[in-house]
Amino acid sequence: MRNDHIIYKLKDLGTMETIILAGGTGTIGRHLTKLLVSEGFHVIIFSRNPSVNKDSNHIEHLYWDPDTKRINNDAIKRADYIINLAGAGIADKRWTKKRRQELISSRVNSGNLIAEALQQLPNKIKAVISTSAVGWYGADKKTGHAFTENEEQGTDFLSWTCKLWEDSVKPVELLHKRVVIFRLGVVFSKDEGALKELTKSLKFKSATYLGSGKQKMSWIHIDDLCKLYLTAIRNNEIVGIYNAVSSEVLAQKIIIDRIAKQKVGSIYLPIYVPAFLLKFALGQMGEEVLLTSTTASNQKIIDTGFNFKYPFLTEECIKTL
């Protein structure tokens, strides 16, 4: 394994626990970093471009490159936990052959590098918390059925991507370390992401529905997701795979209508984008990501005692989005 040769001046961190946040410069990473620092953790953010971000007393940005297996060895030795968020955006581009490979390699290579580093370097890592998606299950198979964590993967591209993604960190279990994998639903945030794109037209007093708008969406508020990662660090009883979704799975149209009525009032212009047009413009990505229903259950994480702040898309929840 190659070291990135970055010289690091050791800081006096006292008894503060250190968390490596791999791929921590995105929306989830920024929110999670704020939460972890507020809770007294020192955060090391692994990034391909660490120089574009400023360090602070409790945040470092260090270089890594999963494609070339470059990682900061000293950070691995100092850290107590690793949270892996790395992965190219699923819906950012049309799925060309090259893009498909990027989606897989950006996830698998990061998981492989973390597992290899822990196998090869002395460390005190207590747990690795990694990320996957409810895309594991594929489309809903029958009405009224919610996917639970013990079900088999689906058969489409996203399902196989999630399978490879999750398998990449499984070798960490052989080191007798705790491994947690969260299968994320669509993350709702006011900053950026799927919800911002879906509700972009509200500024023009119109609501845009993709296809029929009846496709079910398993979602989670970003505050609850960050709280889940924090809980996984603190609760040693949380082990294995959990769906990271709210308690209310809703049709896309219902989600947009609820937000529209609160944001712009009861009068707005409905605009339907035909499914065939989305498939033509975006190909398989449009079908699997935008038009597929996926209903996932959060009962397993609730059974651990976790309490969602926003289990339902209420007025209080929408005010934060």
214 in any annotated domain:
no
209 in any annotated domain:
no
Q: Which residues form the domain of 150?
A: 15-187+219-245+296-308
289: tokens are: 């990501």
Radius of gyration of the chain (CA): 20
200 in any annotated domain:
no
Considering its fold, how many domains does the chain have in total?
1
Model pLDDT, residue 13: 43
Q: How many whole angstroms separate alpha carbon 47 and alpha carbon 252? A: 33
Question: Going residue by residue through the chain (321 aa), what tens digit of pLDDT does each one get?
Answer: 544 433 333 344 446 899 999 988 889 999 999 999 999 999 999 999 888 887 888 999 999 999 999 999 999 999 999 999 999 999 888 999 999 999 999 999 999 999 999 999 999 999 999 999 999 999 998 777 899 999 999 999 999 999 999 999 999 999 999 999 999 999 999 987 888 888 999 999 999 999 999 999 999 999 999 999 999 999 999 999 999 999 999 999 999 999 999 999 999 999 999 999 999 999 999 999 999 999 999 999 999 999 999 999 999 999 999
23: tokens are: 């791929």
For residue 30, the tally of other CB atoms under 10 A from its CB is: 17
Q: Which CATH number characterizes residue 88's domain?
A: 3.40.50.720
268 CB contacts (<8 Å, ≥6 apart)? 202, 205, 206, 207, 260
90 in any annotated domain:
yes
276 in any annotated domain:
no
Residue 164, judged by CB atoms within 10 A of its CB (0-12, 13-18, 19+), counts as middle
CA atoms 199, 204, 210, 216: torsion sign: positive
Task: Name the residue type at position 174.
Answer: L
Look-up: residue for tokens 């299968």? 183
> Is residue 244 within 8 Å of residue 295, measured between CB atoms?
no
Q: How many whole angstroms separate alpha carbon 175 and alpha carbon 179? A: 10
Model pLDDT, residue 6: 37
Q: Phi and psi (nearest 5°) for 284?
A: -65, -30
288 in any annotated domain:
no
Residues 83-113: b if buried by 16+ CB within 10 A, e if exposed: bbbbbeebbeeebeeeeeebbbbbbbbbbbb
73 in any annotated domain:
yes
Model pLDDT, residue 306: 97
Model pLDDT, residue 141: 86
Model pLDDT, residue 191: 82
Q: How many whole angstroms separate alpha carbon 231 and alpha carbon 320? A: 22
199 in any annotated domain:
no
137: tokens are: 């299950």
Q: Are strands 250-251 and 216-217 parallel, antiparallel or unpaired?
A: antiparallel
